[in-house]
Amino acid sequence: MFIKYFLKTTVVCMVALCLFSCTTLSKQPKPGKPWTEAKADISHIKNWDLVASMSVQNKQASQIVSVKWQERARHFNIQLSGPLGLGAVRIKGRPGEVTLTRSNKKIHKAATAQALLVEATGWFLPVENLYYWIRSLPVPSQAYDQTLDEAGRLRILKQDGWEIHYLDYHKYANGVILPRKMLLLYPGMRIKLVISKFSFHM
């Protein structure tokens, strides 16, 4: 009698475990498109609000900076808050026409945000390239090398003297997969970017 009860109980438990396993597997998110196929969809993301933390390190110093980036069809408003030798900085404009305003209200103007940051802070940050890199896209019309991971996502991008490592991704409700953690390496420069918010419109 005991043996029959034991066997019956065991069978019930195994069936229940199997059903639970099937249910759990069915709830796993489907993998996104491989990067080679998803690039076209990602390139349509041209408006966003991004919040991130950025660790910037060169041979002389290391700084942690908060980033708020609003992008509207190539018109950008980027706020950097942190040391960088100057406190808060706001960079506004569009390609070819950029202004940088420091916390002391002093205004700098240049053709690129990268040139402005070097002039005002001495820090070399590839702002124009980041417009593409934060979406895991190479800068158009520039040569690059790529390495993909097992899921077909971009793992390493080498371009313009930089080596960008994509450490982590986040899959959004609409199925789009975008970088969450990035490590950017350049001779004498190391930047780690961790994105905490990325609201975008396609």
Residue predicted with more confidence, 202 or 103: 103
Whether the pLDDT of residue 87 is over 50: the answer is: yes
Count Cα atoms within 13 angstroms, Cβ side, for 26.
6
Residue type for 61, please? A
Q: Where are the domains of the chain?
A: 35-201
Q: What is the 3-state secondary structure (H, E, C) of 130-168?
A: HHHHCCCCCCCCCCEEEEECCCCCEEEEEECCEEEEEEE
CB of 73 closer than 8 Å to CB of 47 = yes
* Paired tokens of 149: 């991971």
User: Which positions ≥6 away from 188 have C-beta within 8 Å?
Assistant: 58, 59
Burial class (CB in 10 A: 0-12, 13-18, 19+), 145: exposed
Residue 159 tokens, joined: 């371009």
19-70, pLDDT tens digit by residue? 333 333 333 334 567 888 889 889 999 999 999 999 999 888 888 999 999 9
Q: pLDDT tens for residues 60-71?
A: 888 899 999 999
Q: Please say whether the beta carbons of 83 and 93 come within 8 A.
A: no
1-16: average pLDDT? 42
CATH number of the structural domain 35-201: 2.50.20.10
